Every structure is written in C-alpha cells, then in structure tokens.
Amino acid sequence: MTNKRYLGFIYIITGAAFWGITAALTQWLSSQVHFTVGWLSTVRLMVSGLVMLIILSRKINIWLIFKDKKSLLQVILIGILGNLGVQYTNMAAIGTGNAVTATLFQYLAPIIIAVFLAFQKKRMPTFIEMLALFIALCGMYLLITNGSINSLSLSVAGILWGIISAAALAFYTLYPKKFMKQWGSALTVGWGLFIGGFAEGLFNPPWQVKISEWSIPSLLALIFIIGFGTLAGYFLYLESLKFITPTETSILSCAEPLAATFVSVIWLHVSFGLFQLIGGFFIVVTVILLSVKPIKLRHPLRRKSNNVTHLEH
C-alpha cells in the first residue's frame, strides 16, 4: 500500500469524524445553549459558502454562473432544496432526537436513491438492493422502537425529520450531477451553501440571536461546526477521492456515526439501548452493501453534511 493511499484513508476518516463531532455539537448548541435550528442553519451555510466563494474567486470568475438563466435557476434549487434542505432537516432531526439517530437516518439516502433509480430505469431492484432495503428497514425499526413494538424510543418529530433529511440528501446527491459537470463541484457547493443560507436568513436573520447565550464554549463549538465540520470536512472528502476509490470512501465515511455515537455517549450522556445499537449497525451495513456496487450513490459533498454525501453536515 502506497503512502498516498494511507493519506487518502486518513483524509476520509478524519473528515467523517469531523461530521460526527459536528452532529454532537449541534445537539449541544440546540438543547443546552438554545440556539435555534434556523439560526444555526443560516450562519453555517452563509459563512461556509462565503469563505468558499472568496477562495474560489482568486482562481476563477465566480459570477459567470449568473449569466446563464438556466444555470441560475438550477443553482437556486440546489441551494434551497439541496444544501438548505439537507442542513435544516438534519439539524431539526438532531434537535428533536439526538445526533446519532439523526446521522443514521441520513444513511438511508442510498436506499432511496437505489429505489428511485430502479423505478426511473423501469427495472426491478437487484438482489443486493432488495437485501439492503430489507436490512435498512429492520435497522430503522430497531432504531425507532429499541425492539419493543409497544413504544417509541424516539419522538415522532425526530423520526419524521430524520426520514425527510434522508430524502433531502437523496435529492442533493442526484439533482446537481449535470450542473456539476458544467461548473465544477467547488463552485456548485460554494454558491449552493451561500444561497441556501441566504434563503434561510430571510426567515432567521443571523443578527437575531440572544447575546446572553454566547459564551466561549458556544463560540468555539460554532467555529468548529463551520471550519471543521463543513469546510474542512468537504475538503478532506474531495482530497480522499484523489488517492482511494469512491467505494473505499463510502465505506470509511461510516466513521461518522461512530464518532457521533462516541461523543454523544461520553460528553452528552446520551443513552442507547442494545437493539438501537444493532439497528444502527444494520443501517451502516446497507451503505457497505450498496457501496460495493458499480453505481455512484454518493455526492462529493454531504452534510451531513455532510453531505457529502454530507457537508454534512
């Protein structure tokens, strides 16, 4: 194994860990410090997008995209339904549930994509796709009920936001494909982040935050979410693709829920039942099953976040 491949592994594992830690920090900011989901989404998207566009402006003309009406409409949809859709729903899932379950719900996106592509191409899902769907449904059942059909271990709002976040991530993975071929992933992501943040800012202006809620820990958490959980996570994900395959990247990005679980249990004292942990493992298995197929199910930005498949976040 070459040193470059080792470097690729380090990049994706580090980036995925940043996404997982970001999910836990988001839960802390929303539940303990009482920052609203809307405000966090606005600041995270706008600042990240602005920084990325400033960096890109030194190399290319970032305004060319506005001269093409079709491209302008597309990037607005990407920003609002994609970037904002993924970030807001994921943060809402964290706020109404917890960081780990919200992260795991987003890992249902490849299942939604596989089913959609099968329907679009008018074919039956393959055996692997059907197996992955069955395992994912079992995992989701265990995650929601902790093995007891008579009770829910998550709130209804947390479940709904989690499912919507997976659907939003599926859209964000599929829709920008042609646009990115024309304009490049970095410019797409930069404008998408900024436009998404600007749209959310119309309803949740970044200056409308209670000053009494600020503290050094909350400021550091916000800086980490923007700098490491978004910008660095995105950079490390793309850099990893230079040295390792997309399949390896997809599988190793499963370090994200592991990081979210570790930080949530140790720091936030979130408790999980045995069946919930098994359910989370099942959902991660579906990602591995679908990753070994010769089909591109992941997006170069999650977020999640992470994206990328999340920018993630």
Instruction: List pLDDT tens digits, range 115-145.
Output: 898 889 888 888 988 999 999 999 999 999 9
pLDDT over 90 percentage in the chain: 54
pLDDT at 310 over 80: no
* Residue span of the structural domain in which 26 resides: 3-312
The CA distance from 307 to 237, in Å, is 10
pLDDT at 280 over 90: yes
pLDDT, mean of residues 196-200: 96
Q: Tell me which range, 70-74, 206-210, 237-241, 287-291, is most confidently predicted by mean pLDDT.
A: 70-74
Split at pLDDT 50, 70, 90, the class of 1 is low
The pTM is what?
0.85
pLDDT at 295 over 70: no
Per-residue pLDDT at 313 = 52
- The values of phi and psi at residue 126, to 5°, are -70, 170
Give burial (CB, 10 Å; 0-12/13-18/19+) of 40.
buried
Question: Domains in the chain: how many in total?
Answer: 1
pLDDT at 105 over 80: yes
